[in-house]
Structure 1
Amino acid sequence: MIDLLQDQLAHIDADQTWLVGVSGGRDSVCLLDLLVRAGFSNLVVVHVNHQLRGEESAGDAKFVEQLARHHGVDFYSESVDVQQLASIQQKGLELAARETRHEVFAQAMAKYDAAGVLLGHHADDQAETVLYNLLRGSNGLKGMRFENAVKVSGISLMFLRPMLTIRRSDIDAYVNEHGLAYREDASNAEGFTARNRLRKEVMPLLTDIMKREVVPQINTAAESSMEQADFFTNEVSLESFLDPQGRVFLPALSEAHIALQQSILFQYLKVQGVPELSRSVVMSGLEICDSSAPAKVNLPGGNWLRRKEQRLFVQRA
């Protein structure tokens, strides 16, 4: 298994301090074991108790703490009532949980002066993410990246996913071979969430229909789509479409090809911190570029995209 990760781990300085997100499930437990065996000596295990499963969630936190001690690495944990937080902030549970994890990672990053966060997402997770994003209306086939940065509370979080090309079956084999203990999240076996149904129902059905594994094909298509998106991002500077106040200058935007317009507006909204971006959000934003159209459109997160004096800008709620 370590051999499969050689290329990915070669890009990560093992002597730096790294946070490792560990839920207690088999994927993150496997990643932690692999990193220790690969010689990463300055690891900090980070666990977030979302308080969604009562005593089971508390048991996960205790298990991860003991796991960190077993490996002789530091442990950082926070407990947050995500259900209550989502209700107060009027956000979806999944979004509130992700933002909570990011906040905890940011706190741990500041405390330990870490280089970044290592996560246990794998190839099957990637395929499920691509399908989920596609069905939500993503602008292209979008999945997770080996490396991406997120700014949280003024702190730049660098996320790395060393196992993103590794199949779930390889992880299962490694866990069994080394007798690794892990916590099974009972909610993963339930079919009431969209992601769980994609995992439990859709992916096996697609495999049966195609009479072959579909994960590699889905991920290859997503990689190609993201490479094209990267081309637009790298070839065209967002700054060249902004005025001195950081607003999108409509005369410049209107002269660009529609594909570039989509890329520019997507980049702008992402920089502005607009969550849950999709093709429909971007296209709705482009519609208000027409002076005869309404001058405001709703954005995810409760804000608006406004048109005023030949400029586009995000108006905060």
Structure 2
Amino acid sequence: MTDLLAHIKALKLFAPGATVVVAVSGGADSVALLDLLHRFDGDLRLVVAHLNHSLRGEHADKDQEFVAGLAAGYRLPFAGERREVAALAKEWGTSLEDAGRRARYEFLYRVARAYQAGCIALAHHRDDQAETVLMRLLRGAGATGLRGMGLSRGMLKRPLLRLSRAEIECYLKGRGLTWRTDSSNADTAILRNSIRHELLPILGRYNPKVSERLAATAEILAADEEVLEQVTESAYRRLTVPGATDPSFSVAGLAAEPRGLRLRLYRRALAAQRGDLQRIALSHLEAIDHLVLAERPNAQLKLPGACLVWRGYDRLWFAAPVPAGGAFEFAVAGPGSYRLPGERMLTVSLVERPERLAGASTVAYFDPEAATFPWTVRSFRPGDRFAPLGMAGSQKVKDVFINSKIPVPERGRIPVLISRDRIIWLGGVKMGEQARVTGSLGLVLKAEILDITL
């Protein structure tokens, strides 16, 4: 039998003296994990954490009492909390299993912050890994999902991941340890339980070591995925348009890449814009790819999670949809800072005339006598007309947007700056003629659009 303690030490997951939050449900696996880490000779500072899901009434309360007793027996701090997971599942629109998982991780990260812990130890083992791979395969996943759980990903550490359930139970019996049994683990209406009690035994007829083989496959895919993530990150930095608030790409640049890399880049951009990839399926990635490869220069796609992907000429954008009725308007009484929609700021100041007036599109200079206060800053309206810099007459603002290849969804975000009932600047797009700086003025008005870093 594997020497479990020697096995965990060989993984080198924990630095000497590290503070580790140990997730303990009271079941066999987590009880073994706690005992092993307590015997660890790396001078670890352990914190026992237990979340009561409030799903099994008195049995759940007994589990919490049992884990609190374990912590006391080892003379370790205990962090326990109760959450109404059934209510959370309704609120979040997810299954009980998904709601429990989300609540559990939120709790563990909070405990880690409270105790200034550098990592969280979880009791997942090789059989759990096999179940995870099958569950994701049945739901439809690529290599990223089929790589399963990792030994070490960020703060999360899984010291038992290469050990079988049988090895863990043998360790418990050898140590004379007791644990709690969760009766809901036998409920085959839950997908993971069905895979454990029904599907894996059937597959075991074809290969008695099916769990071991699935876990090994996940580990191989994880190694491949590490390389592919590095390739994707490098391409993402190379292909994204610099300085954009939301992820944005050159369509021509994307189209020149292999399909597999394009799909990974879409996932990377969606994760950056949304914060996660929940409810994003292959069909969504293929729909984005169709936008990139289609001949039509302007089109848009709404995705789950309040995300809009649109193509405007040679740009592909990932952003939150502009809300209905999102028009804005406010007055600028004089120099100062003014909040714009989309985490931006308009700053106005009186400065010495620079040697060069032409520069970044987000900066404009005005003659103070031609651009008198108060100004009005508002969103674009149909029918707006504008005299661009260097033009004697005027043209429709809509035509300026078309000629500048501004995508339709982006036009409502552009601040239109007005003085004396004249549009003097389309912020970030084009300067106007009627308030331009002439001659050798000493002081000029400077307007600049800045991104807000929160």
**TM-score, length-normalised on structure 2?**
0.63
Which residue identity does 2:229 align to in structure 1? T
CA distance in 1, matches of 2:240, 2:303: 21
User: Equivalent residue for 2:224?
Assistant: 228
Could you tell me which amino acid in structure 1 is paired with residue 181 of structure 2?
E
Counterpart residue type for residue 263 of structure 1: R
Distance 2:282 2:200 in 1: 24
Larger proportion of strand: 2
Aligned position for 2:153: 148
Counterpart for residue 186 of structure 1: 183
Alignment of 1:174 with 2:179, yes or no, is: no
What residue is the counterpart of 1:155 in the other structure?
A: none
Aligned to 1:247: 247
How far apart, in 2, do the equivalents of 1:65 and 1:175 lie? 19
Which of 3, 11, 34 is equivalent to 2:13? 11
String of CA shifts for 1:148-178, please: whole Å, max 9, x gaps: 13xxxxxxxx111111101111001011111
- Deviation of the 1:14 alpha carbon: 3.6
SS of equivalent residue, structure 1 residue 295: strand
User: Equivalences for 1:255-294 in 2 at 5 Å?
Assistant: 255-271=256-272, 272-276=274-278, 277-291=280-294, 292=296
Deviation of the 1:73 alpha carbon: 0.8
Call closer, same or farther: CA 1:187–1:284 in 2, change over 3 Å.
Answer: farther
Q: Deviations over 1:18-46 (max 9, x none)?
A: 10111111111110000001134410111
Provide the C-alpha distance between the structure 1 equivalents of 2:290 and 2:172, rounded to a whole number of angstroms: 51
**What's the TM-score, normalizing by structure 1?**
0.89
What SS class does the counterpart of residue 289 from structure 1 fall into? Answer: helix
More deviation, 96-105/174-183? 96-105
Query: Which stretches in structure 1 are left out of the alignment for 5+ residues?
Result: 150-157
Aligned with 2:72 (options 45, 69, 72): 69
Deviation of 1:294 after TM superposition, in Å, equals 5.9
Q: Distance in 2 between matches of 1:241 and 1:55?
A: 56
Percentage identity across aligned positions?
31
Residues 216/284 of structure 1: CA separation in 2 closer, same or farther (3 Å cut):
farther
User: Aligned partners of 1:307 and 1:258: how far apart in 2?
Assistant: 19
Distance of 2:287 and 2:213 partners within structure 1: 31
Does 2:294 align with 1:313? no
State how far apart, in whole Å, the 2-side matches of 1:287 and 1:44 are.
50
Q: Which has the larger radius of gyration?
A: 2
Distance 2:91 2:218 in 1: 35
Tell me how far apart the structure 2 counterparts of residues 215 and 294 of structure 1 sit (CA, whole Å): 46
Letter in 2 for 1:122: H
In the alignment, the residues of structure 2 paired with residue 190 and residue 170 of structure 1 have an alpha-carbon distance, to the nearest angstrom, of: 24
Tell me the distance in 2 between the aligned counterparts of 1:280 and 1:168. Answer: 37
What is the aligned partner in structure 1 of residue 350 from structure 2? Answer: none
Question: Bigger CA drift: 221-230 or 132-141?
Answer: 221-230
User: For residues 24 and 180 of structure 1, what CA distance do their matches in structure 2 show?
Assistant: 11
Paired with 2:73 and 2:179, the residues of 1 have a C-alpha distance of 13
